[in-house]
A and B are shown apart, each in its own frame.
Chain A
């Protein structure tokens, strides 16, 4: 394992700290987006937008070492992807499943 240049180590610490501080807000945005979507009736475009948000959090969470959050976001992303691929609107149990996955995501913050 090569030594980390001190400058990189310092900068990585700085951006990680900054990322950690913004994580609750990122999860809140996903919660809000799902809540809004649920209010107006989730359509394909809305689900795609939500999947992109979950994908972004899964990727950035893993990059910054927040494994649990990344995995929870990835589970949400995969489920949304499966709904998008079937090209059908979510049924009541599927909406419930998304609720649970968003809940798991929130829980992974603690």
Chain B
């Protein structure tokens, strides 16, 4: 069965300067359609209508953090099965294992390389559908 093409990505990140680089990289290199949320709460509101195929989620955010946001997304029928990838500087093996146990399909290390971010995401997407 053919793997569907990844087009729509929701990026949840509170830091505007990181949003800017990630958006540029994902749109110019990956040709993705990217919607940005500044917080977990905003993601809960926007995700059902935007209907992303994948969600990139910052771990440490003020208010609702990444793990809490993931839990809330899993509780919504429209977003329950969307693959979520955490983005964090905390990528020790035990930390990655913890995030995967919470339900993330993978973890992308920060700082990310704008040039390879899209290919990393496509690789994760393909693994999700293998």
Contact = CB atoms under 8 A, between A and B. Distances in A.
Does B associate with A? yes
Contacts of A37: none
A4 B115 contact: yes
B76 interface: no
Interface residues of B, number: 19
Give the secondary structure class of B's interface.
loop
Q: Size range of the interface on A?
A: 20 to 34
A58 B58 CA distance: 14
Contacts, number: 51
Contact of B110 (A5, A11, A12, A62): A62
A2 interface: yes
A101 to B, nearest CB: 18
B25 A60 contact: no
Contacts of A63: 17-18, 21, 110-112
Q: Which 7 A-B residue pairings sit nearest by Cβ, starting from the closest?
A: A62-B111, A60-B17, A63-B111, A8-B28, A56-B15, A52-B62, A11-B24
